[in-house]
A and B are shown apart, each in its own frame.
Chain A
Amino acid sequence: MTTTLAPEPKTTTPTSSPLPASTGLEPAARIPAGPDAPEVTTSEPGTHAGPPALLVEHVTKRFSVDRKKAPVQAIDDVSLRIERGEILGILGANGSGKSTLIRLVSGLLTLDTGKVEVFGHDIERDELAVKRLINRVSVDAAFFKKLSPMENLLFAARLYGLDGKAAREQTKAILGRLGISESRLGRPVEQMSRGMQQKVAIARALLTSPTLLLLDEPTTGLDPRSKLDVQAFIEEVNEAHDATIVLTTHDLAEAERLCDRITILDGGRVVAEDTPDGLKHLVAERYGKAPTLESVFMTFTGRSLDEDVEEDGDND
């Protein structure tokens, strides 16, 4: 089934963060975003003036894995529009194109066709301007594992123009907020648990004050407590920092909790897009299914979320 639903206006506001938002992550403590940062007009998602936070128009991406085989269509005519302050969830089975889409938006892959704009900046023509506005957290917390969190984050901060002193202070504040004590900041990352490493990865992204944050399965593989911590933190970042977030996930409960809208990818194509409630309502009304995101996913993709699609290329 390939029904694509037109996105509906957002009908709900994000839920309040269950955590205090006053421990080092206040907007005033952020790195100045620079001349490319878009103006803040209001705190309500979907009601900002100006260009969308992310505009993806008719993007395709193919990979040639073998000269004897046909290229793999990883992304097939995908279009998305995300307004400032929104959290967009992207759901899809392994191999559906989620990570490829994130990499395309990150500028880590070139587009075959179509265009991507971040706050009105074309990702290919204004590459540096776009890079100042975005950051990404991937499923594998990638660090120099022998270096400490402080050393890793100091490196990242300097690349984004922050000086050493400010970077150290903000690193302590952000990681403290995430429950990582100062005593851990000098020890190698490799000595930290997977959950703690992922928190450091999120801190690295926040240190650069991204206006558009790309989270590629940030909670995959985390224990339940760490997962809840990270989810609460994502909510806090969205609300306190007016960050627009694109979140890919396998966790339907997570998507339901965090996302204002959900896009479902299958075979590199968008097969459904709406608010979580809108999607559930649709499958209940039109298909007589149980009003759950699992039903939604099964209805539009014909497979379960844990199912692997054959991966011939870079289309995970």
Chain B
Amino acid sequence: MTVLAHELKASYAFVERNFFLTRRYWGWELAFLVYSVAGALSVSLIGAAAGDERLLLTLMIGAIFWNYLSVVFGWIAETIQVERWEGTLEYTFMAPIRRWTQLLGSCLYAMAYGLVHTAAILVVMLLFFRGLDLHVENVPTALVFVLLGSFSFVGIGMMAAILPLLYVERGAQMTFVLQSCLLLVSGVYYPVSVLPEWMQALSRLSPATYVLDGVRAGLLDGQPVTALWHDVVPLVIMGIVLIPAGLWAFGRAERYAKRTGKLKRVG
């Protein structure tokens, strides 16, 4: 067996295990789906109340695609926390695999889970708000941005996953802070132009800004990907930079955790 085949098989182990967990917690998954649908509907109804279909669609796209990005981020960021809670972290870190193998498996499952979860919300939204003027022919544009944005969020998720390694008791909560800051500056429910100048500068560092801008341009304005290089290029650069940066940071954090004894079970 080649090294790559071994590592890919090990990556699949994380995909399969996370699927087992989803299946075992199906009641919670259902509740989470209801929560996500209710949240997306609530936000979108603000647009309906204003009698402004474009606002409704802007909010709906923001709610749906932010859901995807936050689900991907959440799964990856919780990679360490869940194992620490269950007490399996030391066993996983003892396994003869490279760390990118573990993170690749977690990321693949996060993206697959996020797509299914988001698709379910999208279906409910389209059934609830019938007859919306969406450029469905530009769905591929939206998918391209989702894919490109996923890479960036994977990198950020890896960095967030470090927090429970470094801060045993409150690391998981600190990932929520990071997530909410991204929500604030990325123009999820409002244009970034309403933000103060310094926040607008921060918004340019968030991949979600470009994902949402691109998806809205595609689905609301009918623009193809080829007309949206100003959103594509930053996402590609962020993906190229953030994934290696996430792996590097994770490796440093693992070394620190092993030096200070922070891999031990808590919970």
Residues of A bordering B, CB below 8 Å: 63-64, 100, 103, 106-110, 128-129, 131-132, 134-136, 138, 140, 142-147, 151, 154-156, 158-161, 163, 188, 204, 313-314
Contact A108:B263 (CB < 8 A) given known A128-B96, A144-B21, A147-B21: yes
A314 touches B264 (CB 8 A): yes
Q: B189 near A: Cβ within 8 Å?
A: no
A110 and B94 form a contact (CB under 8 A)? no
Interface size class of B (residues with CB under 8 A): 20 to 34
Given contacts A106-B94, A131-B95, A142-B86, contact A151 B260 (CB under 8 A): no
- B-chain residues with CB within 8 Å of residue A147 when the two chains form the complex: 17, 20-21, 24
Q: Given the known A-B contacts A109-B259, A145-B86, A151-B17, are A158 and B9 also in contact in the complex, defined by CB atoms under 8 Å? A: yes
- Chain A nearest Cβ from B93, distance in angstroms: 6
Are B96 and A158 in touch, CB under 8 angstroms? no
Query: B265: CB under 8 A from chain A?
Result: yes
Give the CA-CA distance A196 to B12 in the complex, in Å: 28
> How far, in angstroms, from A103 to B94 measured CA to CA in the complex?
10
B residues contacting A by CB (< 8 A) are: 1, 6, 9-10, 12-13, 16-17, 20-21, 24-25, 86-88, 90-98, 255, 258-261, 263-265
- Asked whether, in the complex, the Cβ of B97 is within 8 Å of the Cβ of A63, the reply is no
Give how many A-B residue pairs fall within 8 Å (CB-CB).
Answer: 94
Instruction: Enumerate chain A residues within 8 angstroms of B255, measured Cβ to Cβ.
Output: 110
A108 contacts B260, CB within 8 Å?
A: no
Tell me the smallest distance from the CB of B123 to a CB of chain A, in Å: 28
Measured between alpha carbons, how far is A103 from B260 in the docked complex, in Å? 12
Give Cα A13 to B16, complex, Å. Answer: 44
Chain A residue at minimum C-beta to C-beta distance from B7 = A161
Across the interface, which residues of A come within 8 angstroms of B90, CB to CB? 103, 106, 108, 136, 138, 142
- What's the minimum C-beta distance from B86 to chain A, rounded to whole angstroms? 5
A158 touches B87 (CB 8 A): no
Q: Is the CB of A159 within 8 A of B96?
A: yes
Residue of A nearest to B93 (CB): A108
19 A-B contacts (beta carbon < 8 Å): A64-B260, A107-B258, A108-B93, A109-B263, A128-B98, A129-B96, A131-B94, A142-B86, A142-B88, A144-B20, A151-B20, A154-B13, A159-B95, A159-B96, A160-B96, A161-B9, A204-B91, A313-B261, A314-B264
B17 near A161 with CB under 8 A, answer: no
For B260, list chain A residues within 8 Å (CB). Answer: 63-64
User: In the bound complex, how far is the Cα of B93 from the Cα of A143, in angstroms?
Assistant: 14
A158→B13 contact, CB < 8 A = yes
Known contacts A158-B12, A163-B9, A314-B264: A108-B17 contact under CB 8 Å: no
In the complex the two chains form, is A109's CB within 8 Å of B21's CB? Answer: no
Whether the pair B21, A155 counts as a contact (CB closer than 8 A) is no
Q: Min CB distance, B31 to chain A, in Å?
A: 15
| Nearest 4 interchain pairs by C-beta | A142-B87, A158-B13, A131-B96, A314-B261
